[in-house]
Amino acid sequence: MTMMTPPPLEQQEDEEMLVPHQELTEGPQPMEVLSAETVSASENQQVEDPPTLKYRWTIENFSRLNTKKLYSDIFHVVGYKWRVLIFPKGNNVDHLSLYLDVADSATLPYGWSRYAQFSLAVVNQIHGKYTIRKDTQHQFNGRESDWGFTSFMSLSELYDPSRGYLVNDTFVIEAEVTVRKVVDYWSYDSKKETGYVGLKNQGATCYMNSLLQTLYHIPYFRKAVYHMPTTENDMPSGSIPLALQSLFYKLQYSDNSVATKELTKSFGWDTYDSFMQHDVQELNRVLCEKLEDKMKGTVVEGTIQHLFEGHHMNYIECINVDYKSTRKESFYDLQLDVKGCRDVYASFDKYVEVERLEGDNKYQAENHGLQDAKKGVLFIDFPPVLQLQLKRFEYDFMRDTMVKINDRYEFPLQLDLDKDNGKYLSPDADRRVRNLYTLHSVLVHSGGVHGGHYYAFIRPTLSHLWFKFDDEKVTKEDAKKALEEQYGGEEELPQTNPGLNNTTFKFTKYSNAYMLVYIRESDKEKIMCDVDEKDIAEHLRIRLKKEQEEKEHKKKEKAEAHLYTIIKVARNEDLMEQIGKEIFFDLVDHDKVRAFRIQKQLPFNHFKEEVFKEFGIPVQFQRFWLWAKRQNHTYRPNRPLTPQEETQSVGQLREVSNKTHNAELKLFLEVEIGPDLHFLPPPLKTKEEILLFFKLYDPEKEDLKFVGRLFVKSLGKPTEVFSKLIEMAEFPPNEEIDLYEEIKFEPTVMCEHIDKRISFKSSQLEDGDIICYQKSLTSTNRNQFRYPDVPSFLEYVRNRQVVFFRALEKPKEEDFSLELSKLFTYDDVVERVARQLGVDDPSKIRLSSHNCYSQQPKPQPIKYRGVDHLVDMLVHYNQTSDILYYEILDIPLPELQGLKTLKVAFHHAIKEEVVIHIIRLPKNSTVADVINDLKTKVELSRPDAEVRLLEVFYHKIYKIFPPGEKIENINDQYWTLRAEEIPEEEKSLGLHDRLIHVYHFTRDSNQNQMQVQNFGEPFFLVIKEGETLTDIKIRIQKKLQVPDDEFSKWKFAFISLGRPEYLQDSDIVSNRFQRRDIYGAWEQYLGLEHSDTAPKKAYTTNQNRHTFEKPVKIYN
């Protein structure tokens, strides 16, 4: 990012940096150089400081200069030649123009470039603090050999003697230049420069790459991954352990950046997942959970817990009576507040902050009633590897959106969690363990809440050396970049002219630390262990070395490619095999014929020996034809090689034949075989003869095949070769035939009838042309065939499309396929589908297109006659699919489109059942109409029972629909519509009664206590004033019919804004719920924590439609 300093008060506000005019019409002028001093780096930094030089240029008799521009003497910075360029009267502006120039740009080699950060200053010789200094940076090259400020300062200010810039007509300029090494992205070698390699980005996987690099550089973790049992029969794309072993092995031993596709395939991800940016913490949790599961029953079982698991104690302690409640919980990472905290220690202080339960919020202590109490969290133990997630993202209720917290937040190189006599530790903590941690890695997020880029700073050996892992690129960095520059906050731009009361300019730094990994000093030796080849399974070493050898072989071939020519030889056998099966147009697919890799200097006659060895055709019986690409983009054999050409080298011949400088030489091998199947010498070809290729079409079988080639006389007529064509087709001797010339097929088919009464030359036929022929048809028998002639068949082949149909309710299962034409109309397509499905009325077929990115049906089905042709149904943005989804409707689609269809899940009040009902009503109907229609279809507990309609999304109730609401805008594609009877107790709420939301939730053992995941069916519950949790539990157990042994394991929590506060049996629940409005009150609810053992129901959020946002999932 290039930052421009604000201009002085008298400068133009829209100051612009420009490259000056490049004509060097005037040479350097003599001047006095007072000093040129090199600034030596005094700090002992880990990464070598870039060379810097300060240069001072004093110009006398400045006002009398009579030149448009002026150059300083040349000064050197590590061998680079620089000079300052000044326009004393301005570069076509009324400001002084000042630039830094590459002094020897005219003599540097083509393609040169150098990168410099520099400042230019006009010195105030009276008051140094008013010196005007401006900083910038630039990559200098042949096109931009000077760079600087066209409007540096106003000329009126410069020439005003009272200002101090021109004293005794002397003018002083200072330049400070720092030359940095230009990192060419394409030629930069991470392994060579740093000893480490990066990971390739699949689209939006930088978040994953930064996490994987962090985990890889925890050697104990890497060793455990290597020791996970895998076999030589496993495939990386289907085995997470093997894919991770393979990835780590390549990171350890490869010289180039490593791909992650095998790993993401082992997760069960498709391309769409790889282009979805997710959360690092979420991926970390899910990946570690999967590895923990895969490690069970192996020699490395428990590694994840051993490395990352710590424990804290939640406690509530009464102040006035002797009562204390505690609960031990584990964590794999800790979420620390950033907002309102200056550093990590402040976050830990906030984490263990004691909350007072008093007044209306007193604690119901068992056997002691309501009591004043202290509530908090203390740590029992910390893990060897401490992962700290910094809460850079949070929900802003005022703006109703997620925001990123870019506040300054410091983190130390060494973190002492025993500080202040162990104030973070619980009484049960083992004080013999020294909780002193050293920083291992800093994961950074650069960007905003809706996206950005992730990378990591890591100390792989915990030495003073830091490295930046940014996808494919790894660079050495100094500690300041890894630490201070990732604190976030604001940065102040240097003032242009201090002393003139300039406004201070600040900008927010959007790159900041997002996750920190610390390693405990006492465990450092064990965690940072050696990992070498003996830790890697032999089958894995063999597999990966073989992969590497193949890669090296391909690399070698690529490097030597300029020495070789690829010769592709097509023969009659190839045409016979391909035409009518793999291809229909042209003669051959050159990618599927025999290819020879031949040295360019080899004489072509020697290559013919290679052909003899391969095909067994003696050299004297071989004749080769060159292929030519015609203007209509078809390929045809053009002419045979001359004897003289065959004496040339392969490389010369390729250049003669190939105007596009392609590395390939394409040839057709003509071989004549006699009746006794012996080879014959190639017939003499005269100028009057042309070589034609023939295809035969059978309209009955709809079959096209290659039958041979013939030399014909250019002035002869087609009738002269009819007998040979009839013999090749094995027709009866007197069969009438029709001939067509296949001309082209892109962008449309062109196949024209040949008049057999005129000569081949008159029909403009030449060497390599293709003639298709068939039996002549009468007007009567033409109607027997779908495609009676060659042009209609080729048109069909050009536009045919095999479409795979799937039932909409089973979008992952292929049902059947149909061969259709891209030109089919909407009616043609639904008619064929209806016929396939045995549906009498095609208008009852409704189709949906395929989303190529999500691999799901598009949410909106295709409207009746809403598209013109099949090709329009298959296009999704710039991609074409071959999948359509179908539904069989019970009424015709045109009629249905006039109605609003809602899918409503009815929950019976007494029976343990949920039934899905499809409600169809006119679009101007109301929710009351839906309920009335539903009542006619369902069994109610009582005839006078009242029914309500709810909106449920992700296992939470978001809305109770008012009866008068119009149904036209209700969306049931992403939200579940639930209907249920209104319980009698809700109809007669007392003055102090509360109607609250009750949701099921679970929390994985390695998830932070602040995060919950809802599941199951949410419901409402009436709670009364003074009612304890014990009373409410009895009613909930009865309502849900949960067995005692299972219900005893459930935990109950008041959850507000996703944060659970666990309740005790004696707690007065109504005290927690102060809101009476349940509409929009889903952020406060009574949470029932237990494991999700219920089978997934088919009616949950419409499964055949993709949801707005996909969570991170690893499927295998």
Nearest to 17 by CA among 93, 125, 127: 93
Can you read off the two tokens belonging to residue 938?
């369902």
The CB density around residue 319, as the number of other CB atoms within 10 Å, is 13
Active-site residue among 95, 138, 206, 227? 206
Return contacts of 546-549, CB within 8 angstroms, 24+ apart. 548/253, 548/254
- Amino acid occupying residue 759: S
Contact between residue 149 and residue 15 where contact means Cβ atoms under 8 Å apart: yes
Cα–Cα distance, 172 to 697 (Å, whole number): 90
Contact between residue 378 and residue 352 where contact means Cβ atoms under 8 Å apart: yes
Q: Residues with Cβ < 8 Å from 729, sequence gap 6 or more?
A: 696, 707, 735, 737, 773
Q: What angle do CA 961, 966, 972 make, to 5 degrees?
A: 65
Phi, psi of 594 (to 5 degrees): -65, 130
Cα–Cα distance, 844 to 840 (Å, whole number): 9
Cα–Cα distance, 665 to 596 (Å, whole number): 10
Question: In 535-601, at which residue ranges do the beta strands (DSSP E only) sit?
Answer: 564-570, 594-599
Per-residue burial over 996-1032, b = 16 or more CB atoms within 10 Å of its CB, e = otherwise: bbbbbbbbeebbbbebbebbbbbbbbbbeeebbbeeb
- C-alpha distance from residue 578 to each of 414, 529, 566 (Å): 70, 59, 21
The rounded Cα 962 to chain-centroid distance in angstroms is 42
Q: Are strands 334-337 and 385-391 parallel, antiparallel or unpaired?
A: parallel
Question: By 3-state DSSP, what share of the chain in percent is helix, strand and coil, each rounded to 5?
Answer: 25, 35, 40
The rounded Cα 237 to chain-centroid distance in angstroms is 18
Give the three-class secondary structure for 385.
Answer: strand
Active-site residue among 76, 453, 876, 1090? 453
Tell me 30's DSSP state: -
Q: Give one DSSP letter per residue of 522-537, joined into a string.
A: GGHHHHT----GGGS-
Cα–Cα distance, 340 to 200 (Å, whole number): 37
Catalytic residue check, 453: yes
Question: In 500-652, at which residue ranges do the beta strands (DSSP E only) sit?
Answer: 506-508, 511-520, 564-570, 594-599, 623-629, 635-640
Adjacent-strand bridge partners of 136: 118
Can you read off the two tokens belonging to residue 309?
């698991």
Can you read off the two tokens belonging to residue 771?
């003639």
Nearest to 228 by CA among 254, 215, 246: 246
Catalytic residue check, 852: no
Q: Give one DSSP letter per residue of 241-309, joined into a string.
A: HHHHHHHHHHHHH-SS-B--HHHHHHTT--HHHHTS---HHHHHHHHHHHHHHHHTTSTTTTHHHHHH-
**Residue 754 half-sphere exposure toward CB, CA atoms < 13 A:** 26
Adjacent-strand bridge partners of 1022: 995
Kind and range of the H or E run holding 712: strand 703-713
Q: Are strands 80-87 and 95-102 parallel, antiparallel or unpaired?
A: antiparallel
Cα–Cα distance, 783 to 956 (Å, whole number): 63
- C-alpha distance from residue 12 to each of 15, 16, 153 (Å): 6, 9, 9
The residues that are catalytic are 206, 453
